[in-house]
Amino acid sequence: MSAREEILGRVRSALADVTQPDPELDVPLTWEYGRATTMPDVLGRFVEMCGDYKATVARCGAADVAARVADLLGGAGVRSVVLPSGLEQTWRQAIEAAGITVHDDDPPLSRAELNAIDGVVTASAVSIAETGTIVLDHAADQGRRALTLVPDTHLVVVRADQVVSDVPEAVARLADAVTDGAPLTWISGPSATSDIELSRVEGVHGPRTLLVVLAD
């Protein structure tokens, strides 16, 4: 008997009692994809993981978001920002009142123009507590992808009801955006990479500074 025949013989023997060819039906699982993973404090876990990634997180009530956005931008030394068209007008007003120059992306700014702007402010689609990841689906309140990749500082506002437990739950929530063909950007802290000598370099393929406002 050849090695091939011996291997195939063992495979046939192991599968002799399998009557259902579909492995998903052969071994039923009680787990449901997209079901929330139980954790004691989803928001607290999200804040903790964002901090591990060197992001600055500020929690506030929904009514205080505009003021918190302006305060964080000022504290980070941001003097100019680009805002997506669908962003809350109260946020825009607070930013302008703080003396920060506001740029619109209509018509679309060039890469050189975006590079000259200090920061960008966006909303978000979903955030993941287990990994500290923020996902953008680039709806009107988030703008096109270039806005969140070129400026040096990204301030993103996350609503408490947008924070889910883990990646499968986030993917389930993003199903409609994927079906519609929307691009997705997954952000886990400020942009960072390491070279072959493990020297950490920040800002290579995205913002060096990530500011997060969590609206409870």
**Within 10 Å of residue 201's Cβ, how many Cβ atoms?**
12
For residue range 89-116, list pLDDT tens digits in order: 999 999 999 999 999 999 999 999 999 9
pTM for the full model?
0.82
What is the three-state SS of the chain? Answer: CCHHHHHHHHHHHHCCCCCCCCHHHHCCCCCCCCCCCCCCCHHHHHHHHHHHCCCEEEEECHHHHHHHHHHHHHHCCCCEEEECCCCCHHHHHHHHHCCCEEEECCCCCCHHHHHCCCEEEECCCEEECCCCEEEECCCCCCCCHHHHCCCCEEEEEEEHHHEECCHHHHHHHCHHHHHCCCCCEEECCCCEEECCCCCEEECCCCCCEEEEEEEC
Residue 162 confidence (pLDDT) above 80: yes
Q: What is the predicted pLDDT for the residue at 68?
A: 97
